[in-house]
Structure 1
Amino acid sequence: MSTDSMEGANAKTHPEIEVTEIAAEQALSLLDSEGLDATEAGLRLFVQQGGCAGLSYGMRFDDSPDDDDTIYNHHDLRVFVDPASLKYIEGSILDYESGLQAEGFHVENPNVVSECGCGESFRT
């Protein structure tokens, strides 16, 4: 049985947001180091105004989802997305990259039409 699922009010109306196994492992490790319970808490993925292309991604840990969040569960990691952000990032993949120049979470977003030169902001 798959451990990947989606729940919440918007569960059937939006394309899945996926999380790679390595991204889930990294996030769960960070959740644990913060003393948060992964069965209730989760990673909030959101979009905010900012950056040279107009929009940027944000992430933080939340103790629990908001009532109107769509909740994704991949590899035991709960991901919370608010309705306003969902329209910009539906169908995206959250990954974790480790390399010589950078290490961290990366969103592969099929809705992006352009990104700034540094890759920190985008436009849909």
Structure 2
Amino acid sequence: MSTEPATGSDSQPRIEVTEAAAEQALSLLDQEGLDDDVAGLRLFVQQGGCAGLSYGMRFDDEPEEDDAIYTHHDLRVFVDPASLKYIEGSVLDYESGLQAEGFHVENPNVVSECGCGESFRT
């Protein structure tokens, strides 16, 4: 399954990426020496944390065959089908402030989070 949200239909599952998150990820891709025309940021959900699930991110050279592919602000985001059901409708943002700096997923499917905000339950 491959989707391009900018041109996909409204019925397609969506993952949004803010401009701040895209800029930060593209900068990191460049530092890693990866070709941002092919490589991208993989966003996934894994078992773990005190609430049961946690987010993971890494750079991949290319998408897997069954990945959903989203492009926002020139950043390609790869999501596997198993993770997509947990994060459909989410927004990936990058926050920079006095207390914290880093990527943050705003997920409308979350019903509870652990106290530290590192894991969640849908």
- TM > 0.5 fold call: yes
SS of corresponding position for 2:83: helix
Q: Distance in 1 between matches of 2:22 and 2:99?
A: 21
SS of corresponding position for 2:5: strand
Alignment of 1:13-92 (within 5 A): 14-92=12-90
Task: Determine what percentage of the aligned residue pairs are the same residue.
Answer: 84
Give the TM-score taking structure 1 as reference length: 0.91
Moved over 2 A (4+): 11-15
Partner of 2:107: 109
Question: 5+ residue gaps in structure 2?
Answer: none
Q: Distance in 2 between matches of 1:84 and 1:72?
A: 16
Provide the aligned C-alpha RMSD in A: 1.3
Question: 5+ residue gaps in structure 1?
Answer: none
Work out whether residues 54 and 123 of structure 1, in 8 Å CA contact, stay in contact via their aligned partners in 2: yes
Return the offset for 1:88: 0.1
Work out whether residues 5 and 12 of structure 2, in 8 Å CA contact, stay in contact via their aligned partners in 1: no
Q: Distance in 2 between matches of 1:26 and 1:45?
A: 15
Q: Distance in 2 between matches of 1:62 and 1:110?
A: 26
Code of the aligned partner of 2:5:
M
1:72-115 Cα distance to aligned partner (Å, 9 max, x none): 00000000000000000000000000111110000000000000
Return the offset for 1:14: 3.8
Return the offset for 1:16: 1.1
Give the TM-score taking structure 2 as reference length: 0.92
Q: Distance in 2 between matches of 1:109 and 1:57?
A: 11
Q: Residue 6 in 1 paired to residue 5 in 2?
A: yes
